[in-house]
Structure 1
Amino acid sequence: MVSATPALEESLIVFSDVHLGSDIHDGAARRARRSAEVDRDLIRLLEHYRAQPPSADRWRIVIAGDFIDFIGMTVTPRPSDLVETSLTDEEQQHGLGSACDHARLKLRRVATRHADVFAALGRFVAAGNALTIVHGNHDIEFHWDAVKDDFRAALFELARMERRDLDRDVFQSRIEFNPWFFYRDGVAYIEHGHQYDPFCATDHIMAPLSPADPRRVARAFCETLLRFVVRPTGMKDHGHEHVGIAYYLRLGARLGISGGASLGVRFARAVAEMFRLRRAHFSETAAILRAEHDERVAKLAEATRVGVERLRALLSLQAPPLGKSIRGILAGVLLDRLALALAATIACIVLAVYSAFHGHALWGLAGVLVTWSLLNRWLSRQRTVDPGANMVERAAHLARLFPAAFVVMGHTHVPLAVPAGDATYVNVGSWAEDVADDDDDSAGHPGAGVPGPYRAARTHLVIHVRADGTHAQFCAWEDSGPRVLPAPAAARES
């Protein structure tokens, strides 16, 4: 899982946030359509580097999370599908969940939908290269061993169609999964980054199971909103960090009485689900999961010789999941600010009625408005939706704990390269790209007001380790091939 001295010298190719399967929505009136061009470009990138010899013994692709969008798809089992884990009432309504057999079925659907990408990845590994998948918040279902095995098998079967003599064991041994991070001593520390985002963090990264039902993976705050509100209403998955409470109030008004009421009911059900999941954090099952997590951390420390104290220091940098506290839940769905606005409104009405009979309420009204304004601003500042700045700040700490030339993450979909202490922090952006529907306009679509479809950055990081140090190129894929971006290009001694 973490190898400071690999058996073979490797050059690294790092990218993130491909989100294959995000366009699978059974029964949805509106379906997000993944851009065919972004899959085409990803295949071209894989073929380009497969044909280009690395400076080391082989290439290793490190996908820094969210390769498969398990939580972003809505899959309803067909009569021919074998599902052993019975669907809950919520899963009957919103699609398969995160149980092992549910995730396996989702993976099969993705492998069929994006067979060309799977085939290109299989050819890359068949050529003698290696692949590491770091788990992200959208593909944390890779926790299940059977899902990992299915993924390896899918790539092998596609690769064997072109190379009949391919050895299964050798091929599959070159594919590994890292639930937490990937590390090459002095070269690169790589993780997805969602653990620094309270909206998406999970409580126990090494044992990410739900204390409410350990047959399923723990559901983060953002996944609850995705399943209960965003997907059913056709909202965009992205862009909500740029809007406030006024947007959602306008959205409810724009949907009309019936639509607004339906949206309110969905939010209420989502909040009820969050409180149900919060209660489970105080159960006996939660204590068992904490013990299992601690045991796995200790085993990881021993196997990699990283040291348990260093891993505990790494854990201390992570953000607590928003759904673990009542205040976090209320702030996450803006109920704290709604309650404040309601209280201020009631106070103003009471003072207005009082002034009608007794007068002298003007200063009271002014005091209520000033107090509301100050408290609302304070609550707004406490609610940090965009984790980008937090990830940059954490990168410097990570570089001290795990000395490396580059600290690499994904998650935000925004490419970035900036100094982080003695290292360079690189966010490798995304390969997730939707296309606009013909009838998707800002006036009528429920996602109006949130930024619409955008072109994925198509960025990736290439790292070579040579005698004179660690060299990297931050690149954006274009029709002509990889275009080197201004940074980071300087050599760093390893």
Structure 2
Amino acid sequence: MGNQYLVMSDLHLCDVEEHADGWKAYKQARYVVDEEFASLLDHTAGRFEAGAREPGSGLTLVLNGDIVDFDLVVAVPEEELFEVSPHERKRGMVPTAEKSAWKLERVLADHQGFVEALARFAARGHSIVYVMGNHDRELHFPEVQRVLVRALRAVAAERGLRLPSEPIRFEPWFYHVAGEIYAEHGQQYDHYASFRYVLSPVVQTRRHGPVIALPMGDLANRYLITMMGFFNPHASDFILNVFCYAAHWFRHYAFSKRGIVWNWFWGSVLVMTELLAMKKRIHTRPLRYDACLAHAARRAGLPLSTIRALGALQPPPITTRFYRIAREFWIDRLLIAVLMLVGSAVLALSPVPLWVKLMVPLSSFPLLYFVYEWLAQGDTIFTIEHEVPRYARRVADLVGVKVVTFGHTHRPRIIPLDPGTSFVDTGTWAPILAGSEPVPGYRNYLLVHFDRGEPSVKLDAWKTPRAVVAASVVRAA
């Protein structure tokens, strides 16, 4: 047996919170997956070490993005380590190197089992690669990377383990092994979550200095979803029609002290304001970006022309389409509702027949609204999911590998691209929904082993509870 790869994505580890009313249930301790993650690593390493191997072959763990979810961490330090504004105390800290390092320390404190599992895996002589996604892009900062490395070394020292000099390799874009595997998180093919310059996502700000220029999807998680805690940010339950939103409000908010309407409106304003303020800086090409591309080519063992071609596949972020942003936050519907109310008031005060005053608001306005909705249809996260295999095929053609794997969509699937070439979407470990209640995630993993250059590909779920299996059947249906 030759090289073997264990690939996982979308664990979405964050700090633990407990609320009696079910607020932010996805952050409860019962959804911590450290034990299952550790047992999978130990099991895979044990089987690899016990099997017959080709000389020079190895086992590599690929953490393919969104392993840590910085967007969901709204905790702040109790001591005054740095300035924290009232806005940050409510919606989470700005993604600077210093604050992001503290957030990672906070997350790892609640996930010591995860750290110990990685340390044991590395101490056994196996490789670990961390490919950054959109929710853990703050690992771009070397200071944040060092937090994870220090945590591994601290556990190793405590347990008497010996780690290699580089226990974990960080990749900002993708991981590539010639002729075998290409692993990328996949957010670059989703214009709601992509970075204009993925190798250089930092912009300079007047108040905070260098910060990560977060995409719309991540800003929405920070400013809206964390303030609307009865939604699960790891599922798509927050994408509803107006009637379902009304039912959600009645069920969770009508008889509680928590609110949603103001949090939705003000959070939407904050996201759009920040995107507009950052738009020019986001789309200004970094001065040394050609050098970044050349370094990526050398690191991956690919021609620079191939790196440029991979970059050309990526659609531009949605920051260039302000109307679509407003529509995603329902601001367009709000404006239409206001215009309809104003129009109804004008009609009520006008010297026109009573039937006109009644029929126009009751029939013409709703008809115009439905016509508008039909005309305004566009891409959603669901349509983007269907495009992912097409991008994977283009990637496979460019780099010449047998396995292309992405995460990001939380949709586990294997799709043959060509004879001997497969695309694998690695699903998620984050909580999902069974009906209206969150349950543990699929706990998906991809295991690829090569024998004489040919891959054996297995996409499976590790110790998945029955409720999760039932939920996956419902979703597939």
1:467 aligns with 2:452: yes
Q: Displacement, 1:287?
A: 6.4
Deviation at 1:347, TM superposition (A): 5.7
Partner of 1:476: 461
1:275 correspondence with 2:272? yes
What's 1:45 paired with? 40
Tell me if the contact between 2:10 and 2:64 (Cα under 8 Å) persists in the aligned partners.
yes
- Compared with structure 1, are the counterparts of its residues 405 and 378 closer, same or farther at alpha carbon in structure 2 (3 Å cutoff)? farther
Structure 1 counterpart of 2:440, from 445, 452, 455: 455
1: CA distance, partners of 2:183 / 2:254: 46
Residue matched to 1:290: 286
Match of 1:322 in 2: 318
Aligned mate of 2:197, from 204, 207, 215? 204
What's 2:373 paired with?
376
Gaps of 5+ in 1: 1-7, 437-449, 481-494
Residue pair 2:178, 2:301 contacting (<8 A) in 1 also: no
Corresponding residue of 2:59: 59
CA distance in 1, matches of 2:238, 2:426: 19
Q: Superposition pairs for residues 282-431 of structure 1, below 5 Å?
A: 282-283=279-280, 285-286=281-282, 290-343=286-339, 356=353, 369-379=366-376, 381-386=377-382, 387-421=384-418, 423-431=421-429
* SS of the residue 1:173 aligns to: coil
Q: 1:71 to 1:368 in 2, by over 3 A?
A: closer
Judged with a 3 Å threshold, the aligned counterparts in structure 2 of structure 1 residues 305 and 200 are, in CA distance, closer, same or farther, namely same
Mapped partners of 1:306, 1:89: distance in 2: 47
1:153 aligns with 2:146: no
- Report deviation, 1:139: 0.7
Tell whether the 8 Å contact from 1:34 to 1:435 is kept in structure 2 after alignment. no
1:324–1:287 distance in 2 versus 1, CA, 3 Å:
closer
Partner residue of 1:108 out of 105, 108, 111: 105
1:443 aligns to what?
none
Moved more, 427-436 or 313-322: 427-436
Shift in alpha-carbon separation, 1:365–1:457, aligned structure 2, 3 A: closer
Residue 81 of structure 2 corresponds to which residue in structure 1? 82
Give the letter aligned to residue 180 of structure 2: V
The alignment-based identity, stated in percent, is 23
Q: Is the 8 A contact 2:2 2:449 kept in 1?
A: no
CA distance in 2, matches of 1:276, 1:473: 44
Instruction: Quote the Cα distance in structure 1 between the aligned partners of 2:277 and 2:364.
Output: 41
Write the letter of the residue equivalent to 1:121. L
Q: What is the identity, as a one-letter code, of the residue corresponding to 1:119?
A: E
Equivalent-residue separation in structure 1 for 2:22 and 2:447 (angstroms):
41
Amino acid at match of 2:456: H
Contact kept, 8 Å, 2:403 with 2:424, in 1: the verdict is yes
Q: TM-score, normalised by structure 2?
A: 0.83
For the residues of structure 2 that align with 1:36 and 1:333, how far apart are their CA atoms? 29
Where 1:53 maps in the other structure, the secondary structure is helix
The counterpart of 2:140, out of the listed 122, 140, 143, is 143
Contact residue 19 and residue 431 of structure 1 kept, 8 A: yes
Of 299-308 and 142-151, deviating more is: 299-308
The Cα of 1:298 is off from its aligned counterpart by 3.2
Shift of 1:155: 1.0
**Residue 348 and residue 12 in structure 1: after superposition, are their counterparts in 2 closer, same or farther (change >3 A)?**
same
> For the structure 1 residues 479 and 256, does the alpha-carbon distance in structure 2 shift closer, same or farther, using more than 3 Å as the test?
closer
Q: 1:78 to 1:27 in 2, by over 3 A?
A: farther
**SS of aligned partner of 2:446:** strand
8 Å contact kept, 1:274–1:323 = no
Counterpart residue type for residue 309 of structure 2:
A
Per-residue deviation, 1:89 = 4.0
Q: CA deviation at 1:241?
A: 5.8
CA contact (8 A) 1:399 1:421 kept: no
Q: 1:382 to 1:345 in 2, by over 3 A?
A: farther
Structure 2 unmatched ranges of 5 or more: 466-477
Question: 1:434-492 CA distances to partner (integer Å, 9 max, x unpaired)?
Answer: 799xxxxxxxxxxxxx8431231112111112215122222221389xxxxxxxxxxxx
TM-score by length of 1: 0.80
Give the Cα separation in 2 of the matches to 1:105 and 1:65.
20
Establish whether residue 184 from structure 1 lines up as the match of residue 197 from structure 2: no
My pick for the range that moved more, 186-195 or 360-369, is 360-369
Partner of 1:119: 116
Q: Greater shift after overlay, 461-470 or 242-251?
A: 242-251
Task: Give distance in 2, aligned partners of 1:249 and 1:363.
Answer: 24
Contact map agreement 2:442 2:464 (CA 8 A) in 1: no
After TM superposition, give the deviation of residue 25 of structure 1 in Å: 8.0
The 1:214–1:134 alpha-carbon spacing in structure 2 relative to 1, beyond 3 Å, is farther
1:15 pairs with one of 4, 8, 12: 8
Q: Could you report, residue by residue, the CA deviation over 1:291-329 in whole angstroms, capped at 9, with x for unpaired residues?
A: 344431233235545233322322232233234432122
- d(CA) in 2 for partners of 1:133, 1:405: 20
Are 1:216 and 2:203 counterparts?
Answer: no
SS of the equivalent of 1:222 reads helix
Tell me if the contact between 2:413 and 2:426 (Cα under 8 Å) persists in the aligned partners: yes
Provide, for residues 144-172 of structure 1, a one-character-per-residue CA deviation record: whole Å limited to 9, x for no partner. 111112211211221232335x2x5xx14
Find the residue that maps to 1:265 and give its secondary structure: helix
- Counterparts of 1:88 and 1:312 in 2: how far apart (Å)? 40
Shift of 1:370: 4.2
Shift, 1:12, TM fit: 0.7
Mapped to 2, the partners of 1:36 and 1:368 lie a distance apart of 46
The residue type paired with residue 329 of structure 1 is: I
CA contact (8 A) 2:6 2:60 kept: yes
Q: Deviations over 1:341-384 (max 9, x none)?
A: 554666677779786269799799866554432321232x3140
Task: Answer whether contact 2:223 2:270 (CA < 8 A) is retained.
Answer: no
Q: CA deviation at 1:330?
A: 0.5
CA distance in 1, matches of 2:430, 2:287: 36
> What does residue 431 of structure 2 align with?
433
Residues 64 and 131, structure 2, Cα contact 8 Å, conserved in 1: yes
